[in-house]
Amino acid sequence: MEKEELIQFIEDAFDCVDQPKEITLHVAEAHDDYDYGHDEDHRKNDFIGPWQEVPSEHIRKCQTALSYVDKTGMRFYLPAYMIWYLKNWGNSSEVGSDHTLYSLDHHPKDKGLNEYHKERFSLFDPGQMKACALFVKYCAEDQTEFTDSDFAKKKYERYWSQYDI
């Protein structure tokens, strides 16, 4: 699948998902820094509106936030991150890590993290799971060494391929 086609698939799959109210992007990033006492202050920095319009600057500054969002936040922010990642493919000054890809790890060897993964993806419908699978597959097929294609290949073959139907 070509990049533009994948972006369109992600946009269609996640159209009209609910915005989180509790663990928002900046709250999640603050939790990564062990700041749990100022959630209201951090929410003031969040974009309010459709996920398609989350500013790139917010994603760039909050690249680890996906590890801390809840299931509503994951369904809302993950498509924005995947599309941002794809649009900035090859631009290491914009994309500082493979955290978008790593947030799709299902952690098969760690029961606690595996359950956490299942919970965070529990709101996703089959089309949304397929969009995630296609994103992982796209990363797995990378020939440019921009992304961790070895990680993506393992995750696609061992887990995400079941949703690519």
**pLDDT for the residue numbered 71:** 96
Total Cβ atoms within 10 A of residue 88: 16
- The answer to whether the beta carbons of residues 135 and 127 sit under 8 Å apart is no
Q: What is the pTM of this model?
A: 0.94
Instruction: Give me the residues of the chain with pLDDT under 50, please.
Output: none
**pLDDT for the residue numbered 4:** 97
**pLDDT for the residue numbered 63:** 86
Parse the chain into domains and list their residue ranges: 3-163
- Alpha carbon of residue 138 to chain centroid: 14
The alpha carbon dihedral of 150, 127, 111, 32 has a sign of positive
**pLDDT for the residue numbered 93:** 86
Inter-axis angle of helices 126-140 and 3-13, nearest 10: 160
**pLDDT for the residue numbered 74:** 97
CA distance 50 to 30: 22
